[in-house]
């Protein structure tokens, strides 16, 4: 039943494509074997309707063992999702919440208590226009998105206000995800070029800082051009740069 779907992994699918999932076996409870083995998990771009699997976004079909499927594409507009870390810009301070622009359809709210060591007395020093690295704890289509700058242990864990002397720019969401992937070739190659600091938000915002303005700009231009380069072209470009064509 999943073989047809698995055969399509890595190929282009369009909205309106559908697959039939035979759920007759999955619904009955079996005491002997593992009954949840064949449960299909639909990621972004796929939805279930009865025993059919419908594609609603164009892109490449991706698969992760055992039965997780999603559509991968190069989009530009961010749709907030719970648990993702994003780069936000503080747009206003009102009462006890900050309004933060994260590139979604509406601004996210961030409580001033959601910082490391913040109390009612001890307010964090956040100004309008500051950059924040924060995590979404509430993100669904019906509610306002909500951010925090602490992890579950109350530690900042890299989150909070940042961004003195660096450069912020936008890339496609696909490139941001590629940079964040655990074994990212692109990131490994960048690390070999020259020392730099980089903050990647899942919302397609990228902040870079290197030694000197010129190098920061070179890095930003490189990352922007990586969008449309094949791995071979990219290695050539990086090679040229390493040889001192800077």
Partner 1 sequence: MIMSDAIFSRPTHTFDGMMEECSPSTVSIREFGCEQNLLSRSDGSASFIQGNTSVLAAVYGPAEVKVSKEIYDRATLEVIIQPKVGLPSVKERAQEQCVRETCEASLLLSLHPRSSLTLVLQELHNDGSLLSCFLNAGCMAMMDAGLPMSCLFCGVTCAIHTDGTIITDPTAAQEAESRALMTFAIDSKEHQVMMTSTKGSFSVQEMQQCIAVSQAASEKIFSFHRESLRRRYSKSV
Which residues would be at the binding site for partner 1 (CB under 8 A)? 10-12, 14-16, 54, 56-60, 73-77, 79, 104-107, 141-142, 174, 228, 230
3 state SS of 46: strand
Please say which residue, 120 or 141, places its beta carbon nearer to partner 1: 141
Please say which residue, 27 or 142, places its beta carbon nearer to partner 1: 142
Residues 197/210, Cβ–Cβ less than 8 Å: yes
3-state secondary structure 148-207: ECCCCCCCCCCCEEECCCCEEEECCHHHHHHHHCCCCHHHHHHHHHCCEEEEECCCCEEE
Please say which residue, 30 or 225, places its beta carbon nearer to partner 1: 225
Phi, psi (degrees; rounded to nearest 5) at 154:
85, 10
Please say which residue, 56 or 194, places its beta carbon nearer to partner 1: 56
Do the bridges between strand 97-101 and strand 146-148 make them parallel or antiparallel, or are there none, so unpaired? unpaired
Q: How far is CA 203 from its chain centroid?
A: 6
Q: From the CB of 22, what's the least distance to partner 1, in Å? A: 21
Q: From the CB of 235, what's the least distance to partner 1, in Å? A: 14
Alpha helices by DSSP H, listed for the chain, are 3-7, 24-27, 173-180, 185-193, 213-226, 231-242
Q: From the CB of 62, what's the least distance to partner 1, in Å? A: 11
Q: From the CB of 164, what's the least distance to partner 1, in Å? A: 27
Q: From the CB of 245, what's the least distance to partner 1, in Å? A: 24
Please say which residue, 14 or 37, places its beta carbon nearer to partner 1: 14
């Amino acid at each position: 039943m999943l073989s047809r779907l698995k055969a399509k992994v890595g190929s282009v699918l369009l909205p309106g494509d559908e697959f039939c999932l035979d759920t007759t076996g999955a619904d009955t409870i079996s005491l002997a074997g593992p009954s949840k083995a064949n449960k299909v998990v639909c990621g972004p771009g796929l939805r279930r309707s009865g025993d059919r699997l419908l594609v609603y976004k164009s892109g490449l079909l991706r698969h992760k063992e055992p039965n997780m499927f999603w559509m991968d594409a190069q989009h530009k507009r961010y749709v907030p999702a719970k648990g993702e870390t994003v780069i936000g810009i503080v747009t206003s301070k009102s009462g006890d919440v900050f309004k933060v622009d994260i590139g979604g359809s509406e601004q996210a709210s961030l409580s001033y208590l959601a910082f490391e060591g913040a109390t009612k007395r001890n307010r964090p020093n956040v100004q309008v226009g500051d950059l924040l690295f924060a995590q979404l704890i509430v993100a669904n289509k019906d509610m306002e998105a909500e951010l925090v700058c602490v992890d579950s242990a109350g530690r900042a864990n890299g989150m909070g206000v940042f961004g003195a002397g660096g450069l912020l720019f936008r890339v496609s969401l696909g490139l941001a995800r590629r940079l964040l992937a655990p074994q990212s070739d692109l990131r490994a190659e960048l690390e070999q070029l020259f020392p730099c600091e980089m903050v990647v938000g899942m919302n397609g915002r990228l902040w870079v800082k290197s030694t000197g303005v010129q190098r920061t700009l070179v890095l930003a231009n490189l990352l922007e051009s990586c969008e449309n380069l094949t791995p071979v072209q990219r290695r050539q470009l990086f090679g040229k740069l390493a040889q001192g064509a800077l």
